[in-house]
Amino acid sequence: MQKNILVTGGAGFIGSHLTDMLLEQGHSVTVIDDLSTGSVKNLSSVRSNPRLNFVVDSIMNVRLMSELIDWCDHVYHFAAAVGVRLILDKPVQTIETNIRGTEIVLSLAAKKQRKVLITSTSEVYGKGAKVPFCEDDDLVLGATIKPRWGYACSKAIDEFLALAYWREHRVPVVIVRLFNTVGPRQTGRYGMVIPRFAEQALKNEDITVYGDGYQTRSFAHVHDVIGALNSLMNTPTAVGQVFNVGNDTELSIMELAQLVKAQTQSQSEIRCIPFEKAYDENFEDLLRRVPSLEKLKRVIDYAPKYSINDIVSQVVDHTRREMESNG
Ligand code: UDP
C-alpha cells in the first residue's frame, strides 16, 4: 500500500539511499535536511520525481516538523551529527542535535500516533569487550572528558527516550543500532575510513591507518542496511525493540588498507599514524566491533548480500567518478 513517508536527514548518505528505495516502491516521500552534512547531489537521481518533496530546513523547526509529521504515516529519523571527526570538532552541536532533534520527532509523533524508526549506533556499546555485541549487553562508556562518549551517550538517550515514548504513550517505535554502514555517496570528510582510503589510494597518497591497524570493524553495505530498516518498519513485532543492523564479517583496518590498495592497484604506501596525532590526546578508539545479528534474523529475513570486496570496489568506482567530475 502506498504510504506517505518522512525521512529526516534524507539528503545524507544512508537517508538518500533509503529515499531512492521508498520512491521505487511507489511511496510519497518528504525529505527534510539542513544540508549540514548531507548534499543535494545525493538526491540528484530522484529530484524530478513528483512523489518527492525535498525541504531544506532543520528538524529543530517545530512548526514545520509538526506539519510534516501530520502528513506522514511513517518517519525514518536519520538527521543527526555523524562521523568521528565532526563529533570531536562540534561536541555541543552533536549533543544538542541528537537529543533535542529526536525529542521533537518523538513528541510530535506521539500527538499523531505515527510510527518512527530511530537510528542509533554501535557506538553505544562503547568499549564493551564481549564480542559479538548483543542488544541487551551492558553499555561500557568512557570518561566524560572524551567527547566521543558524549556522542554515544546522546544516542543512548535517544534510545531511552524512544523506549519511554513507546511504554508511556504507545508511540510505535523501532530502534536500530547501525554498525559501520558504508557504500557509494559516503564522504570521508567526517572521518569515515573507506572513502578516505579510496581517495588516498586513487591519488597515490599515503593510506593513513590510525593506530597499529589491528583494530577491527564489520562493514555493511548501505543497500543491505536500508533493506533491513524497511523490513523492520513494516514488521509489527519489531515495535518497541532495539536491533543491531550490519554485517558480522570482521576485518582489521590494516587488512582494509591492503584491500583498497590492491583493488586500486595504487602506488600508495600504507602508513600508521598514532591516534593522538590523527585526533587528539583525548581520543579513544575501539578495538573490535562486531554485531550479533541473531535478534534481527529472528524478526526479519536478513542475510547481507554484499561482501567487503563488493563494497570497496563500489566505493572506489564512486570516488573515481567524483574525482573526475571535480576535475
Ligand atoms: N581510520 C583509519 N584511518 C582513517 C580514518 C579512520 O585508520 O583515515 C580508522 C579509525 O581509527 C577506526 C576505523 O578506521 O579504527 C573506522 O573508522 P570510522 O571513523 O570509519 O568508523 P568508527 O571508528 O566510528 O567505527
**CATH code of the domain covering residue 212:** 3.90.25.10
Given a cut of 90, is residue 280 above it in pLDDT? no
Catalytic-role residue among 76, 151, 165, 190: 151
27/113 same-domain check: yes
C-alpha 300 to ligand 1 mean position (Å)? 29
* Domain assignment present for 260: yes
Average pLDDT of every residue of the chain: 96
158/229 same-domain check: yes
C-alpha 197 to ligand 1 mean position (Å)? 10
Q: What is the pLDDT of residues 287-297, one digit of tens each?
A: 999 999 999 99
In this structure, what CATH number is given to the domain that contains residue 69?
Answer: 3.40.50.720
Alpha helices in 203-307 (DSSP H): 222-233, 253-264, 275-278, 294-299
> Cβ contacts of residue 246 below 8 Å, gap of 6+?
122, 178, 179, 180, 181, 218, 220, 225, 291, 293
Q: Which amino acid is at 12?
A: G
- Give pLDDT, residue 191: 85
139/85 same-domain check: yes
143/101 same-domain check: yes
113/228 same-domain check: yes
Q: Is 186 in the pocket of ligand 1 (CB under 6 A)?
A: no
* Domain assignment present for 295: no
- In this structure, what is the dihedral angle of CA atoms 251, 256, 259, 260, given to the nearest 10 degrees? 150
* Domain assignment present for 259: yes
> Which residue out of 210, 259, 315 has the highest number of ligand 1 atoms within 8 Å of its CB and is therefore the one to mutate?
210
22/131 same-domain check: yes
Q: Is 75 in the pocket of ligand 1 (CB under 6 A)?
A: no
* Domain assignment present for 284: yes
What residue's CA is closest to ligand 1, atom 19? Answer: 192
Residue range(s) defining the domain that contains residue 166: 4-182+221-245
* Domain assignment present for 296: no
- Number of domains forming the structure of the chain: 2
Given a cut of 90, is residue 282 above it in pLDDT? no
Q: Is 192 in the pocket of ligand 1 (CB under 6 A)?
A: yes
- Give pLDDT, residue 281: 77
45/152 same-domain check: yes
Nearest to 29 by CA among 65, 58, 63, 54: 54
143/203 same-domain check: no
Burial class (CB in 10 A: 0-12, 13-18, 19+), 87: buried
Q: What is the pLDDT of residues 254-271, one digit of tens each?
A: 999 999 999 999 999 999
Would you call 151 a catalytic residue per the annotation?
A: yes
Mean local confidence (pLDDT), 129-158: 94
Asked if omega into 172 is within 30° of 0 (cis), the reply is no
Q: How do 207-210 and 220-221 pair as beta strands?
A: unpaired
Strand partners, 121: 178
Q: Is 235 in the pocket of ligand 1 (CB under 6 A)?
A: no
Rounded alpha-carbon distances, angstroms, from residue 13 to 55, 223, 274, 276: 16, 11, 28, 28
Cα 157 vs. chain centroid, distance in angstroms?
Answer: 17
Q: Is 205 in the pocket of ligand 1 (CB under 6 A)?
A: no
- Give pLDDT, residue 278: 87
> Which residue out of 125, 179, 193, 272 has the highest number of ligand 1 atoms within 8 Å of its CB and is therefore the one to mutate?
193
C-alpha 134 to ligand 1 mean position (Å)? 22
* Domain assignment present for 187: no
153/203 same-domain check: no
Q: Is 196 in the pocket of ligand 1 (CB under 6 A)?
A: yes
HSE toward the beta carbon, residue 216, CA cutoff 13 A: 14
Residue at grid coordinates 506522514 = 72
* Percentage of the chain exceeding pLDDT 90: 88
* Domain assignment present for 298: no
Ligand 1 atom with least separation from CA of 196: 8
Mean local confidence (pLDDT), 166-173: 98
148/284 same-domain check: no
> Residue 283: pLDDT band by 50, 70, 90 thresholds?
confident
16/162 same-domain check: yes
Q: What is the pLDDT of residues 225-252, one digit of tens each?
A: 999 999 999 999 999 999 999 999 999 9
* Domain assignment present for 297: no
Q: What is the pLDDT of residues 105-140, one digit of tens each?
A: 999 999 999 999 999 999 999 998 899 999 999 999
C-alpha 323 to ligand 1 mean position (Å)? 22
Given a cut of 80, is residue 198 above it in pLDDT? yes
Distance CA 66, CA 70 (A): 6
- Give pLDDT, residue 83: 82
92/54 same-domain check: yes
Q: Is 208 in the pocket of ligand 1 (CB under 6 A)?
A: yes
